[in-house]
Structure 1
Amino acid sequence: MRQRLIVSGAVVAALTLTVPASAAGAGPSPGAPGVGDSYYPDYGNGGYDASHYDLRLKYQPKTDELNGTATVLARATQDLSRFNLDFSLDVKEVHVNGRKAKVSTAGSHELRVTPAEPLAEGEDFSVVVRYSGVPSEVEVDGYTAWQRTPDGGVAAGEPESAWWWYPSNDHPSDKATFDISVAVPKGYKSISNGDLVSEEPAGKGWVRSNWRSGEPQTTYLATLAVGKFDVTKSRTESGIPVVNAYSRELDGEDGSARASLERTAEITDWLEGVFGKYPFSSVGGYVPDTGAGFALETQTRPFYGNERFKSGTDVSVVVHELAHQWYGDSVSVRNWRDIWLNEGFATYASWLWSEKEGEGTAQEIADEVYDSYPAGDEFWKVKPADPGPENQFHGAVYDRGAMALQALRNKTGDKDFFKILKGWPAEHEGGNARVGQFVKYAEKVSGKPLKSLFGTWLRKASKPGKPALGGGTAAAGDKGERPESWEELQAVHGAHRHH
């Protein structure tokens, strides 16, 4: 992940302390240019909640030209004279409730929209934006989230990627449903989130694919890939459709990529036994020829950079990204500082997979990682519950975050621990949450005080030493409740199934 832009405290204060004039009875006023996120205060927008995005796109892979019409359905949360969208391509025109609106830009990714008439608090409204551009040529703060490939392009990035292909209220706290319709030349395919509901001719030499995400989805988790793909289809044992796609441009990594992703159905079935019922209507993944080495949990269809498979199969990364479908996608962060709720759990899921496969228990992996970082290392200074924007994707968020879960497992015992892992995503399905809420939930389920444990592992920089990890996979006096196998664990907790 790229180095993040650090925003000054003065900017944070200016964006978070602004009070709409309408609150003081002064009539309609502009919505805030950001939601006031503690790491990225100018991401997202104030004054409205988006409920649905309809994206009708046409993309030419040879030139990287994208033309689009985005329809955003939303509800005003204040009396609005003006509102912002996050977007960086060229805008041709904007209509609000069918009437042409005034448009201006502010900064690198802010589109100001002034409707012909103010919007009343509680009013449902529609915004239609017509736009075009060459995404790979657009940079914001020296960076582009659009990845050009030999046969097309890919939109996948965190914490931002939407700006390069559709206008949005770009923050995880404002989820919406999506319809994504993409026209590409014949011989090419488009890959996106959710279900492929139809394919149809789109004029001479073009074909249009229509994708639908019917469950709430954050904006950065929407993805688009266009290229020459081989697509495989199957189903999990629980009946979930699996769609995987592989670029035909892959070289030596093609076999290892397929050997990894084609275990998606098996892994999803297993994860249902750990985290509960799969929260979406489809699952899968795709591997384009981007030359990227990272993967991303784009909802229902994770992105995997082909470099991940240069040295052979990498089933662990598939487990990690699929675990995110529960922890990160279905239950998303409310603030980017809560990133541990995504990465700590996905990392621990890969440790559990290792334990299930007989390749090292989670405790053994935790011990190994613990021993690999000496006291005083920067690793122990990063606080996973609030790592700061410069350390949002630091290894400590992943590995120290996973060690926190092993410490929780040791404290509560397996019975309560796995009850927590399954109950949390069910309780917050389709929504957003904070780290503090998880701590309270774990205390409620286990009946144990846990603030000190989480404070040690998530909220304190260890100076000059490092916290004591402790051993064993069950709390004292609770060893008899530990299942003897993963099959017994699923039987004890009841693997949910789709029908």
Structure 2
Amino acid sequence: MVRTGRSPAGRRLATALTCLLGLLLAGCPSAHRDGFRPGAADAGDPYVPGHGNGGYDVTHYGLDVRYDPSTDRLSGRAVITATATQDLSRFNLDLVGLDVSAVRLGDARADHRRDDDELVVTPRDGLPRGRQFTVTVDYAGVPTAVADGTLGSGGFLHTADGAVALGQPDSAATWFPVNDHPSDKASYDLAVTVPDGLAALSNGVPGPKSSADGWTTWHWSERTPMASYLTTLVIGDYRVETSTHAGRPMVTAVAASLPPAGGAASSLARTGAIADFLASRFGPYPFDSYGGIVIADDRVGYALETQSRPVYGPAFFADDRPNPSVVAHELAHQWFGDSVSVGRWSDIWLNEGFASYAEWLWAEHDGGPTAERTFELQYAATDWSQPSVEPGRERMFGAAVYKRGALAVHALRRTVGDDTFFRILRTWTTERATGNASTGDLVALAERVSGRPLRPLFDAWLVGASAPTLP
């Protein structure tokens, strides 16, 4: 029924009242969407164009996946809890290759479409800034690797007995929908179902396992916020050992095809001791579990600091030699890179410079050369034309990031003295724990703790084009 006898002013008042009521009930589409806009389809990091998204902040991923190595098919459900950081009309998630069958926002179906490696989700009504929401994505398909060109093979790699999912700066989007940039860290719960007899290893604290109809479900929980590239999934035939260290679970695993008492196993066996030593220098270990995984896939020519449980490629234990140095490097990342993460990849030296320096500290502690001697040798061998900060995408994993970065760390130590130096490190890992930081943040903190100007020192050792004067 339509009434025609109301005055224009009366109609305007009625419309306003109707829209006000609609806003209260989230049912006035035009008013609800006024001023709402799409979230960015990119985190704005030039080192990883197209990765990450804007307009929301994820707090938790609940992942339930099933993988069959015989068909290389993965199916999953991701339940993602987030908060809108702007008035959102739609938002994106990163997802490479996999097919999406349904998306729900809360209990309601949401429109969705694919735009290359983006999943675009459009709620029925806009999401106001500050609104917490849950999006559920059902997806399936054959996961793919990523051709990075800097670090090496990564993403979801099918193996002879299962799969390995890892990589830097990206990998997560090859096996679940995600805001794939370290600036948006979140906690994780993972349930992964695989054929009986295979291990399914991931980050965090192990949960109960259950078996039915020839399949076993493994559970993992990482409650401390984690950058997406630090997630991992390792499936296959592994010798898994679970113990307790410092009151926390320790889970280590070595591919069954590697020697049971060889260099890989003996190196992982030192995880607890190395972590304790680093804690004496950097402050308390930042996570609820320890561990490490050694894989046998030669395509992975690197080790990666996947949170709480680093993954090591087989080349680090060639000829069955122990290599505690790489364990020290990846465990140091638990403080520098995992707990305190970069906000932009141009600051990656904050991860790699400190982890490389941890190798020097461990070598000295373990009877090798002193950190001072290693500093002297590296200083003489360094190409000072390459900067540690803003190294460029192709040099993200270059010597300037790792070795020159470590030189800058030791130069700071020589300048301020041991007591102040280690107080700076422990203050950094405490005040910045679970968050993100930049080089500027480190300089400001070091100046505050030391009580002296340090910007010229950092500039000379990180970005200067010639060998800096020894402090």
State the TM-score, normalizing by the size of structure 1.
0.84
Shift in alpha-carbon separation, 1:380–1:36, aligned structure 2, 3 A? same
User: After superposition, what is the alpha-carbon deviation per residue over 1:73-95, rounded to whole angstroms, capped at 9, x for unaligned?
Assistant: 11111111110000112211211
- Structure 1 residue 137 displacement after superposition: 6.5
User: After superposition, what is the alpha-carbon deviation per residue over 1:437-483, rounded to whole angstroms, capped at 9, x for unaligned?
Assistant: 10111111112221111001112233xxx22345xxxxxxxxxxxxx
1:156 aligns with 2:166: yes
Distance in 2, Cα, partners of 1:98 & 1:160: 31
Distance in 2, Cα, partners of 1:315 & 1:365: 17
User: After superposition, what is the alpha-carbon deviation per residue over 1:237-284, rounded to whole angstroms, capped at 9, x for unaligned?
Assistant: x3232110111122x596110011110011111111011111110010
Distance in 1, Cα, partners of 2:437 & 2:397: 19
The corresponding residue for 1:175 is: 185
The corresponding residue for 1:121 is: 129
Distance in 1, Cα, partners of 2:132 & 2:340: 25
The corresponding residue for 2:79 is: 71
1:434 aligns with 2:434: no
The corresponding residue for 2:6 is: none
Shift in alpha-carbon separation, 1:170–1:143, aligned structure 2, 3 A? same
The corresponding residue for 1:230 is: 239
1:285 aligns with 2:295: no
Would the aligned equivalents of 2:69 and 2:158 in 1 still touch at CA under 8 Å? no
Please give the residue correspondences for 1:459-474 in structure 2 after superposition, counting only pairs within 5 Å.
Answer: 459-462=463-466, 466-469=467-470
The corresponding residue for 1:401 is: 405
User: After superposition, what is the alpha-carbon deviation per residue over 1:80-117, rounded to whole angstroms, capped at 9, x for unaligned?
Assistant: 1110000112211211122222222223x211111222
The corresponding residue for 2:67 is: 59
- Residue ranges of structure 1 left out of the alignment (5+ in a row): 1-21, 374-378, 471-499
Would the aligned equivalents of 1:253 and 1:310 in 2 still touch at CA under 8 Å? no
Distance in 1, Cα, partners of 2:153 & 2:278: 35
Question: Aligned with 1:30: secondary structure?
Answer: coil
- Structure 1 residue 138 displacement after superposition: 7.2
User: After superposition, what is the alpha-carbon deviation per residue over 1:275-318, rounded to whole angstroms, capped at 9, x for unaligned?
Assistant: 11111100101012211220000000001011111141110000
1:191 aligns with 2:201: yes
Would the aligned equivalents of 2:155 and 2:171 in 1 still touch at CA under 8 Å? yes
- Structure 1 residue 175 displacement after superposition: 0.9
Distance in 2, Cα, partners of 1:298 & 1:137: 17
Please give the residue correspondences for 1:363-378 in structure 2 after superposition, counting only pairs within 5 Å.
Answer: 363-373=372-382
- Structure 1 residue 353 displacement after superposition: 0.6
Would the aligned equivalents of 2:145 and 2:174 in 1 still touch at CA under 8 Å? no
Q: Where do 4+ consecutive residues of structure 1 move more than 3 Å?
A: 136-144
The corresponding residue for 2:220 is: 211
Mean CA deviation greater in 64-73 or 226-235: 226-235
Mean CA deviation greater in 183-192 or 286-295: 286-295
1:323 aligns with 2:327: no
1:446 to 444, 450, 458: 450
Distance in 1, Cα, partners of 2:316 & 2:294: 10
The corresponding residue for 1:261 is: 268
Distance in 1, Cα, partners of 2:391 & 2:349: 9
Shift in alpha-carbon separation, 1:137–1:363, aligned structure 2, 3 A? closer
The corresponding residue for 1:422 is: 426
Question: Aligned with 1:145: secondary structure?
Answer: strand
Query: What fraction of aligned residue pairs are identical, expressed as a percent?
Result: 48
Would the aligned equivalents of 1:65 and 1:135 in 2 still touch at CA under 8 Å? yes
RMSD of aligned alpha carbons: 1.9
Would the aligned equivalents of 1:85 and 1:112 in 2 still touch at CA under 8 Å? yes
Distance in 2, Cα, partners of 1:77 & 1:94: 21
The corresponding residue for 2:108 is: 99
The corresponding residue for 2:23 is: none
- Structure 1 residue 211 displacement after superposition: 0.5
- Residue ranges of structure 2 left out of the alignment (5+ in a row): 1-29
1:347 to 350, 353, 356: 356
State the TM-score, normalizing by the size of structure 2.
0.89
Distance in 1, Cα, partners of 2:284 & 2:379: 32
- Structure 1 residue 49 displacement after superposition: 0.6
Shift in alpha-carbon separation, 1:69–1:444, aligned structure 2, 3 A? same
Amino acid at match of 2:269: E
Considering only CA atoms, is the larger Rg found in Structure 1 or Structure 2?
A: 2
Question: Aligned with 1:71: secondary structure?
Answer: strand
Distance in 2, Cα, partners of 1:38 & 1:211: 33
Amino acid at match of 1:180: L
Amino acid at match of 1:442: A
1:412 aligns with 2:420: no
- Structure 1 residue 368 displacement after superposition: 1.4
Distance in 2, Cα, partners of 1:396 & 1:240: 36
- Structure 1 residue 41 displacement after superposition: 4.0
1:37 aligns with 2:45: yes
User: After superposition, what is the alpha-carbon deviation per residue over 1:378-432, rounded to whole angstroms, capped at 9, x for unaligned?
Assistant: x322211221112111111000000001111110111111111111101111111
Distance in 1, Cα, partners of 2:51 & 2:214: 39
Please give the residue correspondences for 1:356-395 in structure 2 after superposition, counting only pairs within 5 Å.
Answer: 356-373=365-382, 379-395=383-399
